[in-house]
Amino acid sequence: MKKYVEIGIISLLILVLLLMSGCGTTESGGVISWNNTSSVSEEMVMLTGDAPIVLGSLDTHGIEVNVPANAFEVPTEVALMPLEEEVEVDSSVFKPAGGLYRFEIRGDQPRSDVPLEITIKVDEKILQKAQETEGFRAVHYTNEYGWTYVKPLAIDLTAHTLTFETYHNNWWGAAELSEDERTTLQINDISRRQWITSQIDGEMEALTKEIVDEMLIGAFDQHNTDIATMIAKEVTQEIINDLTLTITSDSGSETKVGVGTSIGMMDNVLNGDYAALSTTIAMETGKALSKRLSNESLGEELGTGLKHAGVVAQSLGAISEGDFIGASKHISEFVIGESKVLKAGQLAVKVVDKKISNWRDTEIEKAYQIYLNGTESWLPWGYNVEAGDFESLFTQMRGVAHKVQADALERYAFQRDIHVDDIPADVANDIRNQASKDLEEQFELRKQQESEIEKLRKNNEYVMERIKDWKLMDRGRSYFPDDYPVELQIERIFGQINKVMHDTSRNNVIYDMSYPFELQEDQVELEQILDAIFTRYTDGEEAYWERLKELGLIEDRERYVDRFAFQPDVELTDGNGLVNVLMESNILPFNDALRSLGTITVDQNDQFSASGSHSKSLDFTASNGEQFNWSFEVDNITLEGQFMDNDINEKVHGTGRFSANYTAVLTSHYEGEILGESFTTNREFVFHTTLSGTMDIKSSGAFKDKLFVTMEAESNATSGSLTTRRTSSRGDVSETTDSNYPVSAYIPKTMGSYDETHQFMILR
């Protein structure tokens, strides 16, 4: 097998050769002509203004350019023109998927103030042949940078079109990228994200400390804040250590890279989801505190500091049984409950935004390349600026600059729970100026550290080669089906690498396959990681844990198990108008009874089970004045199931079963008068229900923060009775009538079948 350095040199040579030929992959292919199917036979010109315009026609020309109103500062000509040049492309990089068009913006403003939307016809046969559409891009060409790509806003499989946004003129076409090229782009994206993570270590530590301080001061007695501060410092450091891995190369050099994505922290920061970030840190705080509790003297210290000693007692009981996860759960739930920050669901975070820029944004990347290299003509993407002249560049960015500033205003408003329009004018102006300065700082920082990004890229290229050698990128296998995008598979495997490190409590990866030294407690070889991943995918979860033991990466399996947990997130609304809901559905007792399950922990085998009981009573008045009381008692509700494919950074799916037994009683009281006869009617509707069936469980997004559990009843056995007592009187004559009869025939109509989806919050 080849070592890292050897592969790195070969990759570099290949890269040089490809750059010389204008290509970017190692996949076999050849230079082909782009057979232009464009139907633009003559120049078409329109003038922009204060009304939107549409240039071209999909039916006639195969392209349509939508220009919004006031897209330019002054009325500006835009044109579609025949493409006279002969265009050649390397089919190993991408294959044309439609016509090639020339779009021009004429005048003194070569970039628009808002995005222009372009839709291009795509070859129907190519679309039908594709297993998935993630590889389709809008492509454009410049002499300076060759072919570059724009990810589409949408691909319409019915209309056979691809839609994207742009701010500038160029040659435009639709193409299908090769799998090798897509892999290269994804590795570049991962490398940039790793670099961003490494640049905000200090900010993450400050943010983590801020949240931990807030939580612990809320959870501790006010007279023991010194203890809280001391513990917060230690907990913060422990969390930060867990969020960083060290890469050791053949030469012995070390690079530290944040791996917060493995528990969702970096994704939360990059997405601005500070509430989810807070919850994650709360769970990590619970883990760290539970470790302190296992030490007798430290446990005593915590016991005198926390507001409620019962939390310590519960946690110590769990620790005594070796259940560190249970102990963490008790503490983190208490910490979350006592934290005003988490209850509000927002944080005024000032320190993290500064060094984060969305380097996935194609237009930001283009602007950075111009900042790095400069240009002497307007042709490359509508810029004409010297290298390093950020002030001129930002002015020429036009709509992209507006978006950068608008995003900064949105963040400011979100952090303070106000509307953007409520920001004072002078403050808003300062925010816009600061957004420009921050972007310049990010550009300059990246310029200075391009060599570091290149190291990460080469390292990730090597990892990718090893991943391929372990057959983890072989299509057609159960873990990489033909219709699964290559980008998601790469993200999945890199997420699995983080998972193995997390499961083994190791954060120093050794990439040298001939590493001559004995591994330290925090070290793990890349080959061991890939071995474990391959075992998990081919032989299952149980074999995965056994393999970790065989590789000497864990001693006691239970000690390293840390899956995730989830809890009900349902609401029950009381009040008038509930009668129809109560009578037409059996959801009410089930929704509220789910709360009795509390936090459900997924074990090392991805299995879970939970049971509980619950009772509740509601009083309300109907519009006619009739008084109702609805009470129910769930004496047993159980859930049990198993998750599949619950890799970090991807969706999860689970199946299971549920059952519930409950009794419900609906009583009503009504007094009235008809034709001189007064009466009082009391009714009692009692029914007993036994439900059981299957559950289908799915996560939202890529294993973010919610599970949706769909329960479908296989059996719904319900029996009941209706008792009515009516007392009426006319003058001195009074009469009471009782009736009592079973309502089994009526129940199926009112109860219906059970098939509903309930929402749960995911906790890590």
Helical packing angle, 324-338 and 201-219, nearest 10°: 80
Q: Quick check: helix, strand or coil at residue 668?
A: strand
**What is the distance between the alpha carbons of residues 661 and 651, in angstroms, rounded to a whole number?**
32
Residue 723 has what pLDDT?
86
Query: Rounded to the nearest 5°, which phi and psi values hold at 554?
Result: -140, 155
Give the residue from 668, 674, 663 showing the smallest Cα distance to 631: 663
* pTM beyond 0.85: no
Token pair for residue 340? 């005003």
Name 706's Cβ contacts closer than 8 Å, sequence gap at least 6: 569, 699, 700, 759, 760, 761, 762
- The burial class, CB within 10 Å (0-12 / 13-18 / 19+), for 321 is exposed
Contacts of 447 (CB under 8 A, 6+ apart): 371, 372
DSSP β-bridge partners for residue 257: 245
Task: Classify 516 as helix, strand or coil.
Answer: coil
Cα–Cα dist 558/549, whole Å: 11
| 3-state DSSP of 50-74 | CCCEEECCHHHHCEEEEECCCCCCC
Low-confidence ranges of the chain (pLDDT < 50): 1-27, 222-223, 245, 247-250, 257-264, 296-325, 327-328, 336, 338-354, 558-562, 571-588, 646-649, 702-703, 745-752
Say what the pLDDT of residue 557 is. Answer: 52
- What is the pLDDT, as a whole number, of residue 530? 96
Q: Are strands 244-248 and 508-510 parallel, antiparallel or unpaired?
A: parallel
Give the whole-angstrom CA distance, residue 103 versus residue 54. 13
Burial of 64 (C-beta count, 10 Å sphere; 0-12/13-18/19+): buried
> Tokens in use for 306?
């926390």
The DSSP call for residue 220 is B
Radius of gyration of the chain (CA): 32
Q: Which residues contact 420 (CB under 8 A, 6 or more apart)?
A: 409, 410, 413
pLDDT for position 229: 64
Q: What is the model's pLDDT at position 6?
A: 32
Yes or no: say if 635 and 613 are a contact pair by the CB < 8 Å rule: yes
Q: What is the pLDDT of residue 564?
A: 67
pLDDT at residue number 29: 64
Token pair 């501790």 is at which residue?
220
According to the model, what pLDDT value does residue 159 have? 93
Asked if residue 511 lies in contact with residue 505, where contact means CB atoms within 8 angstroms, the answer is no
On whether the CB atoms of residues 40 and 56 are closer than 8 A, the answer is yes
Convert the pLDDT of each residue in 698-749 to its tens digit.
876 544 567 888 888 777 777 788 888 888 887 777 888 887 766 654 444 4
d(CA 266, CA 199): 12
Report the alpha-carbon distance of residue 197 to residue 237 in Å, rounded.
17
> What pLDDT was estimated at residue 184?
96
Q: Which amino acid is at 171?
A: W
What are 539's strand-pairing partners?
none
* Secondary structure in 3-state letters for 262-323: HHCHHHHHHCCCHHHHHHHHHHHHHHHHHHHHCCHHHHHHHHHHECCHHHHHHHHHHHHCCC
